[in-house]
Amino acid sequence: MRDTAVFPRLALALAVMAGEWSCASRSNGTSTTGSPSPSGSAAGADGSTPADGPARDGSAGAGTDAGSADSPPGQGSTDGAAEGGTPVACVSHCTGKSCGDDGCGGTCGGCPPSQLCGPSQTCVASPSTTSIVVDAQSQGTPISSGIYGVAFAADDSMQVAALNRWGGDSVSSYNWKTDISNSGSDYNCANYKGRFTSPAPDPSLQTSADQFVHYNITQHADTLMTIPITGWVADVVTTMDSTYSATLGQPLSYCNYPQLADGGLLSSATCCEAIGSQESVLVDKGSGVLDTSFMGEWVTHLVSTFGAASNGGVKYYQLDNEPDNWQSLRTDIYPALYPPGTRCQSFYTTNTSIGTSLNQDFINRTMAYSKAIKAADPTASVLFMCTENSQDLVAVPNVECGNPSGPYGVDDSLTMAILQLAAAEEASSHVRPLDCVDMHYPFASPRKGLGDTSSLWSMSTTAVAPRVQAWINSTYPGTGICVSEYNVPNDGGDGNAPDPTTGAQEADLLGMYGRLGYKVASYFLSLVHGSTHLPIYNAMAMYRNYDGNGSRFGSYSVGAASPNSAINVYAASDSATNPTTIWVMLVNVGNSAQSGLQIALRNFTPSGSAKVYRMAGGAAPAPDSAVTIANSTIGGLAVAVNSAALLVISR
């Protein structure tokens, strides 16, 4: 979470081949190295923990759509029903594919900006080196409304957002029964009452989490809810307490309101050490006796209060927040969670205090809590990994601890090992346990600004994000990719003037999330400052309310390729099979105005003109003069610097 500080990023050395984009097919087989046991099963609410098979690191095992609502029915193979959950009705197939539909209304991936998804579902060069090409028969995968997300928003952001996230450092130890949260070392490890204030509270609801879900429902937005998985949750509100204020050297209230008489700030480390786990309660004792019942009861409560995900309740759950940063953030409870709790302690050898390695414990918790969620609501989607650094999808301690020696690599990652375990679990139970590989801030460091989206698709960089789809395709097809936390730097949310490029940056990111088939993307935090709609708000409005009357970008991604590196193009339709409208978004990611642009439409017969809407220099969307279409071609287009243009083309 980046709300209080920018955490230093260490370089991650990835042994990868250079090359702009690889469309080479991947085997849909199973990894031959350390795959989890198909018979493995994680703990239930009774605390039992059957073995999940040997750990990848050799330590002892545990305890001896999102997609559019109108997604087409899958064409893949079907599976049978099973007790205790919704059966998997379709099995995705992505063998030899790098783009297009997976046979179940999901995606096998998307193509870079200069390429199209070809008939064999591999990325191919555009047929034109001079015109932007939009092909209505290319790609054809759903664009999830979940990519238009924000976090803890209770402001005008909700006029355009389709998802609101309850997530971040402050809810990693949230206690749903007492409505107490803790932001770890961000705020001196003090416990606070409540987390969200609804603009329109329901007096019958007792906690801020319930008010949050209720508010989202009134705003017609989906909820992404964080489920803590460390076993430690906040228990009492931090107040002055003589039993250990002496250790602190100040009344404990100074941890809750960290302002000393001399104007200085009390050390966060001092507060966290003094408080420790005394103000938290252990609801799950860990790998030896995993007990997910406390969180399972929460999901059951949410279902009974708001309905299942399939009936308008909480649609998404993520497994905690940034486990790669627990050792730095959760310094109050980390020594009790993983004794002795020293920074960068061994991650792959057995910790005698917990009876397994930290690595295996994380795997066990991932599987156990996902099953608890699915037991309470099999129609919900579960996000896992949820790392602060996308590089830590390879191995959790990589960035923070300097790539310690371990069993994982970029082509044989921890994420892949968990995907294999999930695939084996589904083969046994016929219920999908995990739905989305989640990461935060999936961009190269330092950020590029305009054109930052190359970090999501370019294989010529050391970025991990472009490799995740191939991991999924080769181990557990049908799994989505999520970015539950990201931002655009210098967006104006702090009251300073926003960087003039921020609107175009956000328009580019939203377009690329849809193009690549991501399931969730949640902006951290808001799109406004007070009553001011920031350029990032206007960028989302280009997709969610471009005409001021609620009109939205299409719900199916359409193949689009640009020969101009300064223009990224994103296209969508209203139907995967018989579109009546095509939307084309042109985003200027260059440093100057672009003119003389031409669009060639393929496999779609347009009317004589196209409506045009523009976000000029980050300003609110505004209509422009319609443009003529002749012989399925639109010519003479221009896009100003730091701007985007949307064309709406009807049949």
Tens of pLDDT, residue by residue over 288-299, are 779 999 999 999
Fold of the CATH domain 115-238+279-650: TIM Barrel (3.20.20)
User: Which one is predicted more confidently, 10 or 391?
Assistant: 391
Residues forming beta bridges with residue 311, ordered by sequence position: none
Nearest CA among 117, 112, 120, 102 for reference residue 480: 102
Q: Give the mean pLDDT of 521-533.
A: 97
Domains of the chain, residue spans: 115-238+279-650, 239-278
Q: Give the mean pLDDT of 565-589.
A: 97
* pLDDT of amino acid 289: 79
Least confident range of 25-39, 140-154, 547-561, 598-612: 25-39
Q: Give the mean pLDDT of 254-279.
A: 75
- For tokens 């970015």, the residue is 483
Instruction: Please give the backbone phi and psi of residue 232, each rounded to the nearest 5 degrees, phi first.
Output: -105, 130
Instruction: Please give the backbone phi and psi of residue 600, each rounded to the nearest 5 degrees, phi first.
Output: -110, 120
Measured distance CA(477)–CA(4) in Å, rounded: 37
Q: Give the mean pLDDT of 230-257.
A: 77
pLDDT confidence band for 50 (50 / 70 / 90): very low
* pLDDT of amino acid 56: 43
* pLDDT of amino acid 472: 98
C-alpha 533 chain-centroid distance: 24
Nearest CA among 405, 410, 406 for reference residue 394: 410
Per-residue pLDDT tens for 344-399?
A: 999 999 999 999 999 999 999 999 999 999 999 999 999 999 999 999 999 999 99
Q: Give the mean pLDDT of 310-325.
A: 98
Residue 2 has pLDDT above 60, yes or no: no
Residue 51 has pLDDT above 80, yes or no: no
Residue 223 has pLDDT above 60, yes or no: yes
DSSP 8-state code for residue 574: S
Residue 58 has pLDDT above 50, yes or no: no
Per-residue pLDDT tens for 36-45?
A: 333 333 333 3
User: Which one is predicted more confidently, 259 or 304?
Assistant: 304
Least confident range of 300-304, 390-394, 446-450, 597-601: 446-450
Least confident range of 77-81, 130-134, 236-240, 571-575: 77-81
Nearest CA among 322, 152, 331 for reference residue 255: 331
Residue 482 has pLDDT above 60, yes or no: yes
Tokens of 494: 């702090």
Give residues with Cβ within 8 angstroms of 146, minimum separation 6: 66, 162, 163, 222, 224, 315, 316, 482, 519, 520, 521
DSSP 8-state code for residue 630: B
pLDDT more than 70, % of the chain: 83
* pLDDT of amino acid 131: 98
* pTM greater than 0.95: no
Nearest CA among 498, 588, 506, 612 for reference residue 161: 506
pLDDT confidence band for 260 (50 / 70 / 90): low
Core vs surface per residue 132-148: b (16+ CB within 10 A) or e? bbbbbbbbbbbbbbbbb
Residue 628 has pLDDT above 90, yes or no: yes
Q: How far is CA 63 from CA 29, 47, 293, 375, 383, in A?
A: 29, 10, 17, 21, 25
- Calculate the average pLDDT of the chain: 87
Give residues with Cβ within 8 angstroms of 278, minimum separation 6: 244
Q: Give the mean pLDDT of 491-512.
A: 98
Measured distance CA(634)–CA(651) in Å, rounded: 14
Give residues with Cβ within 8 angstroms of 163, minimum separation 6: 145, 146, 148, 149, 150, 221, 222, 223, 224, 316, 520, 522
pLDDT confidence band for 258 (50 / 70 / 90): low
Contact present, 330 and 280 (Cβ < 8 Å): no
* pLDDT of amino acid 273: 85
End-to-end CA distance of the chain: 45
Contact present, 222 and 153 (Cβ < 8 Å): no
